[in-house]
Structure 1
Amino acid sequence: MNFARQEHNQAIQKPASKRRLLKVAALTAALGLLLSAAPGVQAAHSPLHSKMFDLSAPASTLIQDKELHNGTVLQSFAFDNVNQHIYLVQLMAGGQQLPGETAPVSGAARDLNGDLALTKLDMSGNELGYMFLKGFGHGVQIGVETVGDTAYLWTETDSVPGSDNHGWGTQLARFAFEDGKVLTPSSPELEKFSPVEGADRTTVNIDPANGLLTMRYRIDNAFRYGVYELAKVKQHVYEPIADVPQPSVGTFQGFASYGGYLYLLEGTSYGSSGSTAPVGNTYITAVNLGTGAVADKQLISAGNSLTFREPEGMAIHLPNAKHPQKAELSFGFASSFTPLRLANIYSLNRLLPEQAIKHCEND
């Protein structure tokens, strides 16, 4: 009888103990949620938290007057920060005949079709290889993602002709660099992404320090910037952590993002749209990705000894990929004259203290 009663009591206690454990687990989870929401509690690091580059600081020269695979104007560039290479795109030069083409193609036809030349340089500006990208777009901005020794290019693709006689991309593409390769939008080497359905004028930049992808796109005739976690985009999961409108700028020439700030490049070459030597009209605008507010805008004097000097493209350079906090904001200029345009890249590496950023944003 006593043994039977003991076994009966144990049978009652087992589910009661299980219920208590479940209750404790639930309370612990609820407490965790409350703590994470409470003011002053340390939260996980946000990829949008960063200092802002000092746009008024003097810029250093990375490469100057370097030839690319074609003699056309540099459009944009990006860095392989692991292997320390530079990838640059430009519109394909006229007069070239690629495999499968029946005759040489004019430069105007290449532009309308969105045909690009991609050049790989070392950090001294020496050519290491090239690719041709037929039907991709205008090359306004590109990105590079490095996986081991392989550089994956992120570009626009599926170009459609615009009323301005340029071709413009409508999707994003990811592909590995392969020297001498010719790709089209239907090439099996491409993986395509459409973060915003119905968008066009899609261009892309990679923030290698924070693992982010920023896409510039046009929808309802207005330009916007969506920021995504790169790892999720590669899984075709499109959950923007920021999405801001483009503020008023002059002639747009490229963009890059670093943490919580977006940087926009604008301007024209000497002799056009009121740009005169040596001052020019090249500006960089910093935008707070959390609010969409303009944090700063500065006239850029770097490269003012260049001939022609048209601003083209931006990218984040990490001189040491193991120390992503030591980043540089790089921007390019095309120089010299047809038939041989040359490429130039300059960098800003000073980050403002937090209080200085707040001051700029409040001005």
Structure 2
Amino acid sequence: MEQRIDLAAPAARWLRQLNTLREPTVLQSFAFDEVHHHLYVLQLTPGGRDAGDLCLNRLDHTGRRLGHMYLRGFGHGVSMGVQHDTDGTVWIWTEADALDGHGRGVTRFRFASGRTRTTKDVKVRRPIEGSRNNQPTVCPATGRIAVRHRLRGVPRYRVWDLAAFTARDYASPLADFPQTGAHPDPGAPFQGFALHGDHLYQLAGNAYDARTNPPAGHGNTYLSCLDVRTGELLERRRTEAAHSLDHREPEGLAVRSTGTPRLYLGFASGQEGARRFSIYYKPGG
């Protein structure tokens, strides 16, 4: 089993206070294409929350935007993943088929700058019958995919072998367990998750608020780690990463698994209508 990332390790800055995304909204989630050195970032479009309209940005590792596309009726963008086929094709995994702004399934598609997709021109997968709020993430290191979802209103995770999942074989998941331990306050917003081997990392917390979450307290953002094999909460830590930002809303989580794994945390800052994004990371052991 791969080494677990130490959530108590100090966070380091990677990108800070950039405004290079296509839309002026916050980032929702992000994922890495390590082969081509690209960073993909999802945003809700202005006014697109209820419909589940998203903007997908492709950036280089300095944060420079290389292209974008729109996803109409896909979902909220809580998480995403990148898959590389043996023939070199890069697939983007997101939620799809939004109802009340959240995906009832997941899908994969190829990035095409300037293009707009709807859920009518992608193949929507519904691996968990009767579920809502489906959100995928991919672990390139082990070739697995996890889907966070809600059954009867309760959030859970299922993990599959990615090759089997791509072939639409959903009958034998590698793991199935409830979401737990994301934040000491069960009402705190869930802000992202990432799968790496037998560990699943979670991000939760609020934006700064002068009364309930003041900047002087450096925020209530928490990171946590679950054991995929048992669903056990292994570690949970409050993080003060990026505490000097204004607004400072945690948004998105991803693992880079080339070399020593690193856990990357996204934060939104700036005024409404002119948001900026920052990404910090926790180094592996």
Answer yes or no: is the 8 Å Cα contact 1:334–1:344 preserved in 2. yes
Mapped pair 1:281 → 2:220: yes
Q: Residue 196 of structure 1: CA displacement?
A: 0.8
TM-score relative to the length of structure 1: 0.74
Q: Among residues 14, 36, 40, which one is paired with 1:62 in the alignment?
A: 14
Q: In the alignment, which residue of structure 1 is the partner of 2:252?
A: 313
Answer yes or no: is the 8 Å Cα contact 1:253–1:313 preserved in 2. yes
Mapped pair 1:212 → 2:144: yes
Q: Residue 149 of structure 1: CA displacement?
A: 5.2
Q: In the alignment, which residue of structure 1 is the partner of 2:177?
A: 244
TM-score relative to the length of structure 2: 0.93
Name the stretch that deviates more: 53-62 or 248-257. Answer: 248-257
Q: In the alignment, which residue of structure 1 is the partner of 2:200?
A: 262
Q: Hey, which of these two has a bigger chunk of strand by percent?
A: 2
Q: In the alignment, which residue of structure 1 is the partner of 2:269?
A: 335
For residues 177 and 143 of structure 2, what CA distance do their matches in structure 1 show?
19
**Structure 1 consecutive aligned stretches of length 4 or more whose deviation exceeds 6 Å:** none
Q: In the alignment, which residue of structure 2 is the partner of 1:151?
A: 90
Equivalenced residue count is: 276
Q: Hey, which of these two has a bigger chunk of helix by percent?
A: 1
Cα deviation per residue 1:286-327 (whole Å; 9 max; x = unaligned)?
111111111110011111111111000111113x4xx4xx21
Decide whether aligned partners of structure 1 residues 280 and 183 sit closer, same or farther in structure 2, where only a CA change above 3 A counts: same
For residues 211 and 24 of structure 2, what CA distance do their matches in structure 1 show?
23
Q: Residue 273 of structure 1: CA displacement?
A: 7.8
Supply the AA of the counterpart residue of 2:255. I
Q: In the alignment, which residue of structure 2 is the partner of 1:123?
A: 61
For residues 61 and 231 of structure 1, what CA distance do their matches in structure 2 show?
34
For residues 205 and 66 of structure 1, what CA distance do their matches in structure 2 show?
24
For residues 229 and 256 of structure 1, what CA distance do their matches in structure 2 show?
15
Q: Residue 152 of structure 1: CA displacement?
A: 1.2
Answer yes or no: is the 8 Å Cα contact 2:79–2:135 preserved in 1. yes
Name the stretch that deviates more: 169-178 or 143-152. Answer: 143-152
Cα deviation per residue 1:63-120 (whole Å; 9 max; x = unaligned)?
1112210000111111111111111111112xxxxxxxxxxxxx1xx21110001111
Supply the AA of the counterpart residue of 1:83. H
What is the 5 A alignment of 1:1-363?
Answer: 49-67=1-19, 68-93=21-46, 107=47, 110-147=48-85, 150-161=89-100, 167-187=101-121, 190-238=122-170, 239-248=172-181, 249=183, 250-271=188-209, 274-278=212-216, 279-318=218-257, 320=258, 323=259, 326-351=260-285
For residues 246 and 125 of structure 1, what CA distance do their matches in structure 2 show?
32
Cα deviation per residue 1:262-306 (whole Å; 9 max; x = unaligned)?
111000111078222141000001111111111110011111111
Partner secondary structure for residue 75 of structure 2: coil
Larger Rg: 1
For residues 207 and 89 of structure 2, what CA distance do their matches in structure 1 show?
35
How high is the sequence identity, in percent, across the aligned residues?
38
Q: In the alignment, which residue of structure 2 is the partner of 1:13?
A: none
Partner secondary structure for residue 231 of structure 1: helix
Decide whether aligned partners of structure 1 residues 236 and 272 sit closer, same or farther in structure 2, where only a CA change above 3 A counts: farther
Please report the RMSD computed on the Cα atoms of aligned residues, expressed in angstroms: 1.4
Decide whether aligned partners of structure 1 residues 272 and 194 sit closer, same or farther in structure 2, where only a CA change above 3 A counts: farther
Answer yes or no: is the 8 Å Cα contact 1:81–1:146 preserved in 2. no
Answer yes or no: is the 8 Å Cα contact 2:97–2:124 preserved in 1. no
Decide whether aligned partners of structure 1 residues 83 and 262 sit closer, same or farther in structure 2, where only a CA change above 3 A counts: same
Supply the AA of the counterpart residue of 1:153. I
